[in-house]
Structure 1
């Protein structure tokens, strides 16, 4: 009843009068039409993509057996699903986007920094980087389809990228832009088509891996050379390390998942859809990735962890075309759900009077080219440093958001105060939630210590460490400040 009353009272015209565009407004019941099936298919591409398959090769070097890696990948899906469902509850309950969830946690001024970090820095930069990574796979495909394609431009470089590479990049960029510009409706249609293709293609590739290896037993018994440097952890810590690595990949979507759950028909819809989708996707991913990589290694006669290299060694042109094509589609899906959509929403939230969602997509897409991601990928280590830094930052943000919603606010958000009291002189929502800010900063600083040689172990578990420390510090400071408030007659030094 409360939600229906809000929908009736807070009309679109009232929101617009207060300076909010339709992308920031809470979704009405009529607008919230995403089913459990939509959520089931939503993240499939984010699981089955080129970087994730390559990462499994690294997991196999941790000293775990192939069967242990499969179990670790499956178990990690429950941790990821819990993060998405838990942080998405505010969106599905109140129909609010990530930008407003941040405002409820950090205050209207305080929300700007984590919003920029998630949507603008992580979203735009990673959109460009992933577009370039996908374009490299597309470039290989174009070379096979059009012999001589690699000779276009005769070796000339434009701003540090070859002419064929630039063509492949712009093609991949244009497709990703179109999916993002179309928004949720186009994305739902795209993922609905992609979902069955993933089962067919990756299921078929897993069968090929078994056949190439001469049976499942040969895959499970395959002796893997562990990494020659770094720390070799006991099995249980290696499992947690895998959980942490995958949570780092999901740090962005895990923070901004309300941009999608705000469209859910109900909380039950997003809970059922996301848990089933994430778990089922990871079961297929766990089996397919290990079978394909180890089967391919046996087929090639040496350890090979790049799935594209394995595919390109096949004799069948059509098998190469279809498999690479589906991998490209999953990368496009990931780019839309994890990068361009959050970036567009955050740009809209920062300047709601001038930028709506579609203008945000255009701005973010253009900036993703301006930063020249191919230059950023010249040094492979710099990319990993960037992604680790984003994971270290967003883990604490997610920790603070969850503590605030579930413990501090007890799952309650007053929509009137959230949207309208900020415009009044005597608002009830703080401009900056100091406790949340301090908790986030402490969590980020500790997580980033992992970049120092003496604290390398922290980087291996950075998301968990940042999440727990930031949430814990925020919770302690919140109760300390509120106890102080009661002693000093109602003055709350926690809010500015």
Structure 2
């Protein structure tokens, strides 16, 4: 049976083999995401609270504001390239990330990277992002309901106060609703969010430009750079910023096929993602620097928290609209980067018992069980978590891309991928040892950055892991191929 017959034919054969509809190749009728859908898909993942806060940290690296803007634009091209390139398998064959992992690592081998991406990164980051967003919601509730912060008189449940718990659960419920609705609900949500982002963040950028007194004052603003850590030359600082941004995008960069499997064509996802990400980051690059430096000039001191800047405005409705859009972007990020990938991975781990909707429910519940408010008691926790995820998933992306383009030659045999678990190398092998060794090597070297003596590695962990894993996989594959060829020739000669 050919790939085309699988894609357009009956699902009974898949169901008999234990696959639910969420991991089957998408049929032509199911692939309805257009260029516009992909153009708007990642907008919220660009314009969110952690990213705006991160720009404040970038300004402390010793770069000028203009250099930071250029570094952010430079990063957008790398991000767009990774998502479009790694999403090709999904858009061409209609397969989700879980099956793309199996095509690379094998049936058994795919489970560990799948758990790392969907369960640990997806659920953990979903909880942390939900808690971060709930803090913005808490500000609004305190503004509009005087005395709200005093509910419970300081009483805490599992380490969180009653007002904070109410805000967290309310925001969690909204995120859950978007996740349970899946891709169709997300498309409608991002279609509404996209113009709001341009209007609100564009307006805030103009505000920052005006209160700062124009371009010259922003570009020449005296920034008190960090006094600890290493200060790099400008070119390395550019790469450091790109690495930090790739840390944020490490999850989506690996699992983008969960979205591109629904593309009407490969062209639609490539054009949509590349144009959407570059346009979104162009706005982000200028608006983030204008808002943060303009806000600092407005407040009279250096301030890198966008929520603090917004909270100092005099107009309550302006605060409501700006914070509301930031909350919406966090919801969009949570759906695209966390809850949807987590649900797909859970459905793959137990396809007979867990489908996509049950995966969303399980992931959402677990995101509360881990008590993310405790994980964020240390202000550096969220960045340590992101750096670790980048160090782990950078090598996974590197191996996946090398495998699909240089070893599989952009071909996926659906028969062998779904039904022949004992097939030959890179078409369904149960455990691809070369891919595993390369990934582990990349992860180990990247994680060395958490040892103080090798801390410089952590600043470039995604790139180091990506390059080391991808490069070593090519070498291991060629050595393995040469060994098999020599063995075959020896047996032939003996015969």
Give the Cα separation in 2 of the matches to 1:490 and 1:88: 38
* Residue equivalent to 1:213: 212
Give the Cα separation in 2 of the matches to 1:222 and 1:457: 28
* Residue equivalent to 1:465: 464
Could you give the per-residue CA deviations for residues 408-451 of structure 1, whole angstroms, max 9, x where no partner exists?
10100000110011288999621110000000000000000001
Partner SS state of residue 227, structure 1: coil
* Residue equivalent to 1:34: 33
Give the Cα separation in 2 of the matches to 1:375 and 1:142: 22
Q: CA deviation at 1:454?
A: 1.2
Give the Cα separation in 2 of the matches to 1:369 and 1:222: 42
Give the Cα separation in 1 of the matches to 2:3 and 2:291: 48
**Cα gap change, 1:490 to 1:104, in 2 (>3 Å):** farther
* Residue equivalent to 1:127: 126
Does structure 2 retain, via aligned residues, the 8 Å contact 1:35–1:265? Answer: yes
* Residue equivalent to 1:200: 199
* Residue equivalent to 2:72: 73
Give the Cα separation in 2 of the matches to 1:224 and 1:111: 46
Partner SS state of residue 412, structure 2: coil
Give the Cα separation in 2 of the matches to 1:428 and 1:454: 41
Give the Cα separation in 2 of the matches to 1:28 and 1:247: 32
Kindly report which structure 2 residues correspond to 1:82-231, keeping only aligned pairs within 5 A, or say none. 82-231=81-230
Q: CA deviation at 1:384?
A: 2.4
**Cα gap change, 1:428 to 1:3, in 2 (>3 Å):** closer
Does structure 1 retain, via aligned residues, the 8 Å contact 2:413–2:427? Answer: no
* Residue equivalent to 1:7: 7
TM-score (norm 2): 0.97
Give the Cα separation in 1 of the matches to 2:370 and 2:442: 28
Instruction: Provide runs of 4+ in structure 1 moved above 4 Å.
Output: 423-428
Q: CA deviation at 1:11?
A: 2.0
* Residue equivalent to 1:494: none
TM-score (norm 1): 0.97
* Residue equivalent to 1:240: 239
* Residue equivalent to 2:61: 62
Q: CA RMSD in A?
A: 1.6
Give the Cα separation in 2 of the matches to 1:33 and 1:43: 17
Could you give the per-residue CA deviations for residues 125-180 of structure 1, whole angstroms, max 9, x where no partner exists?
11001100000010001000111100111110011000000000000000000000
* Residue equivalent to 2:339: 340
Give the Cα separation in 1 of the matches to 2:313 and 2:3: 56
Partner SS state of residue 30, structure 2: coil
Q: Which sections of structure 2, spanning at least 5 residues, go unmatched?
A: 491-495
Q: CA deviation at 1:211?
A: 1.1
Does structure 1 retain, via aligned residues, the 8 Å contact 2:101–2:114? Answer: yes
Partner SS state of residue 80, structure 1: helix
Kindly report which structure 2 residues correspond to 1:434-473, keeping only aligned pairs within 5 A, or say none. 434-473=433-472
Give the Cα separation in 2 of the matches to 1:446 and 1:114: 17
